[in-house]
Amino acid sequence: MKKIISLMLSLCLIVLGSVAFAENPTYHVGVLQLVQHVALDAATQGFCDALNEKLGDQVVIDVKNASGDSANCTTIANDFVASQVDLIMANATPALQATMAATADIPILGTSITDYATALDIDDWQGVTGFNISGTSDLAPLDGQANMLHELFPEAKTVGLLYCSAEPNSKYQVDEISKYLTELGYECRPYAFADSNDVASVTEAACECDVIYIPTDNTAASYTETIANVVDPAKKPVIAGEEGICTGCGVATLTISYYDLGYATGLMAYEVLANGADISTMAIEYAPNFTKKYQKERCEMLGLTIPEDYLAIE
Amino acid sequence: MDIAKLFNAFPGAISQGIIWGIMAIGVYITFRILDVSDLTVDGSMATGGAVAAMLITAGYNAWFALLVAFLVGMLCGLVTGIFHTTMGIPAILAGILTQLALYSINLRIMDGKANTAVNVNKFHVLVTSRNVRVLSFSNPIVFSVLVTAVLILILCFFFRTEYGCALRATGANGAMARAQGINTNIAKVFGLMLANGIVAFAGALLAQYQGFADVQMARGAIVIGLAAVIIGEVVFGKLLHTFSGKLICVSLGAVIYYLVMQIVLWLGLNTNDLKMLTALVVAVFLAVPHWKSKAFSRMAAQKGVLEDA
């Protein structure tokens, strides 16, 4: 059995060698996305647009989606490593972890990752990983969001933090913003739902607070209608971590654009591919700019007056 | 579409398949030997992964993590067993209930976080997808084949003992087993514990292999487990009749499952269609035995008509 395995492996190596010689000078980039999702789709789109603009015909991008199964991430990562792609873009945390486990050589760029130190389990975080991974972080300006909440609702006493317990990034944001909100004198209460089935009832419970905050949570983003159906009749304002959630069920947000984030990741990929930048020393990049936005109809319904520097969501 | 790339992807698919094959052996014990459809596995596999990830990142030995994962998996099986036997809940529901509860428990195990990274640069792990093309003992294929072999040997030994036979009798004919003085309730509970222990063990290996544990990592695991059992039976059932042979079939079934997945990916089909394709592949394998038996009975009937004439 061992003989057969080693025979097969060596065969693979020989084949692999011959492939390396036959390859033409275009760049082959693999994109591994965790799940079909508005924000992640936008990031992938931005990434592809940036690379296509910079490299045109010189780049072939292969987008593969794990459809929410983390086991598929490993299979797809294996496919990319086996095809000897020049770079892998991993969209969302499990995608990045599976890719990291699959290769120590191929450059990997992450996006839609909130905190790289947590996602990759790195102590003593210095802003670079020191190995074949870099990328962009979707960390929203949590201090800014806390200040926004304070600016709009100075009278409120309690803030309900609504998020999905299956999402590590949400938990991280909730923990972080609690610190800022507590400093501003609010009482924070976490309300975590496990999946789509208990979104409504957990939201119902969160309505006992004066204001609700929702971080950049993928599950919440998918069920904004459900949340709106609870908070709108209860007349509870929601401050959201991103624009999609704000449009669906919130009043205001300090937002990042996942498209811009993906685009920034694409530019990093260009640096690695065309200019030979060393990925292990590339610093993690953050969203380039933030915008204060509000949802006009809901603010009117709640009778809120929004300061002038806020943009209405189209 | 370069066939070389496909061959190059095979080692990864094979090692992933063998690890899922261990999980499928657990499913085989409940599904085929005990004749119980146990859905606990979707939770207990993630539990195994979570336990292993937490222990390894806390600095414990990876072997120790595997052992603890196995024991915690047995506890999960115990809960399903108690739901099923002493509380009289139908097995399929009992499994679903435990699976549901395990979501919260897995979060607790991972300290409230949904995802724990097992950084292969930092910790010593037994298997990692990184070494899948390396020609040495660190190759996960070597390790997982050895583990599977040892597991099959132990199971063969166990199911030949008196209690092992009692378990098999419980699944084969409960009433007869009871008539022989076997406490079928205890036998079922023990079978569920053994199966979920193996499943959690596989989860612990998978977490190391893929570099993380996630509360959602085993969503739909039962489908892969059942697919492996059935594919193994359809493809190799004719060749291997012994008990150990059947377990080997299950393991090979999981490998075939992942090879098919890898081929589907290599064909460059839209990955949004992946789940539909998976369902179709499993449906075809499920249908083959049915078609075969129909074809045989038709042939037999025709033959009978001829003989009568």
Q: What is the CATH number of the domain that holds A34?
A: 3.40.50.2300
Q: Which two tokens stand for residue A306?
A: 């929004």
The answer to whether residues B164 and B15 belong to one domain is: yes
A198 shares contact with chain B (CB less than 8 Å):
no
- What's the whole-number mean pLDDT along residues B129-155? 94
The answer to whether residues B280 and B200 belong to one domain is: no
Q: How far is it, in rounded angstroms, from Cα A283 to Cα A171?
A: 24
Edge-to-edge order in the sheet of strand A158-164? A187-193, A158-164, A211-214, A238-240, A252-255, A291-294, A311-312
Identify the pLDDT of residue B303.
Answer: 76
- What's the whole-number mean pLDDT along residues A195-202? 89
Q: How far is CA A115 from CA A153, A174, A192, in A?
A: 29, 13, 20
The answer to whether residues B217 and B309 belong to one domain is: no
User: Which residues, other chains included, contact B59 with Cβ-Cβ below 8 Å and sequence gap of 6+?
Assistant: none
The answer to whether residues A156 and A301 belong to one domain is: yes
The answer to whether residues A134 and A159 belong to one domain is: no
- How many beta-carbon pairs under 8 angstroms link A with B? 172
Q: How far is B45 from chain A (nearest CA, A)?
A: 12
Structural domains in chain A (count): 2
The answer to whether residues B175 and B188 belong to one domain is: yes
Q: Between chains, do B135 and A15 touch, taking CB under 8 Å as contact?
A: no
Three-state SS at A241: coil
Q: Between chains, do B8 and A76 touch, taking CB under 8 Å as contact?
A: no
Domain ranges, residue B72: 3-268
B245 shares contact with chain A (CB less than 8 Å):
no
**Strand partners of residue A137:** A113, A286
Structural domains in chain B (count): 2
Q: Which of residues 94-113 of A touch B (CB under 8 A)?
A: 94, 97-98, 100-104
B224 shares contact with chain A (CB less than 8 Å):
yes
Least confident of A173-187, B102-116, B282-296: B282-296
Q: Length of chain A, please?
A: 314
The answer to whether residues A62 and A77 belong to one domain is: yes
Q: How far is it, in rounded angstroms, from Cα A45 to Cα A63?
A: 10
B209 shares contact with chain A (CB less than 8 Å):
yes
Percent of chain A beyond pLDDT 90? 69
Percent of chain A beyond pLDDT 70? 92
B288 shares contact with chain A (CB less than 8 Å):
no
Identify the pLDDT of residue B297.
Answer: 85
Three-state SS at B82: helix
Q: Between chains, do A165 and B7 touch, taking CB under 8 Å as contact?
A: no
Is the alpha carbon torsion for A200, A202, A205, A206 positive or negative? negative
The answer to whether residues A125 and A232 belong to one domain is: no
The answer to whether residues A279 and A228 belong to one domain is: no
Pairing of strands A187-193, A158-164: parallel
The answer to whether residues A22 and A128 belong to one domain is: yes
Q: How far is it, in rounded angstroms, from Cα A54 to Cα B11?
A: 35
Q: Which two tokens stand for residue A132?
A: 């074949």
Q: Between chains, do B103 and A194 touch, taking CB under 8 Å as contact?
A: yes
The answer to whether residues B113 and B139 belong to one domain is: yes
CA angle B260, B261, B264 (to 5 degrees): 85
Domain ranges, residue A181: 142-255+291-312
B7 shares contact with chain A (CB less than 8 Å):
yes
The answer to whether residues B198 and B287 belong to one domain is: no
**Helices B3-28/B140-160 angle, 10° precision:** 20
The answer to whether residues A150 and A215 belong to one domain is: yes
Q: Between chains, do B216 and A2 touch, taking CB under 8 Å as contact?
A: no
- Mean pLDDT, chain B, rounded, equals 92
The answer to whether residues B79 and B218 belong to one domain is: yes
The answer to whether residues A200 and A170 belong to one domain is: yes
Closest CA to A37 of A254, A267, A227, A242: A242
The answer to whether residues A121 and A199 belong to one domain is: no
The answer to whether residues B139 and B280 belong to one domain is: no
B280 shares contact with chain A (CB less than 8 Å):
no
pLDDT in tens, B39-49: 999 999 999 99
Q: State the burial class of residue B275 (Cβ atoms within 10 Å of its Cβ: 0-12, 13-18, 19+).
A: middle
The answer to whether residues A251 and A265 belong to one domain is: no
The answer to whether residues B217 and B79 belong to one domain is: yes
Q: How far is B147 from chain A (nearest CA, A)?
A: 14
The answer to whether residues A198 and A168 belong to one domain is: yes
The answer to whether residues B148 and B114 belong to one domain is: yes
Q: CATH number for the domain including B135?
A: 1.10.3470
The answer to whether residues B307 and B193 belong to one domain is: no
pLDDT in tens, B236-260: 988 888 999 999 999 999 999 999 9
Closest CA to A96 of A126, A58, A122, A61: A122
Q: How far is it, in rounded angstroms, from Cα A169 to Cα A147?
A: 21
Residue identified by tokens 């090692």 is B15
The answer to whether residues B175 and B300 belong to one domain is: no
The answer to whether residues A236 and A116 belong to one domain is: no
A283 shares contact with chain B (CB less than 8 Å):
no
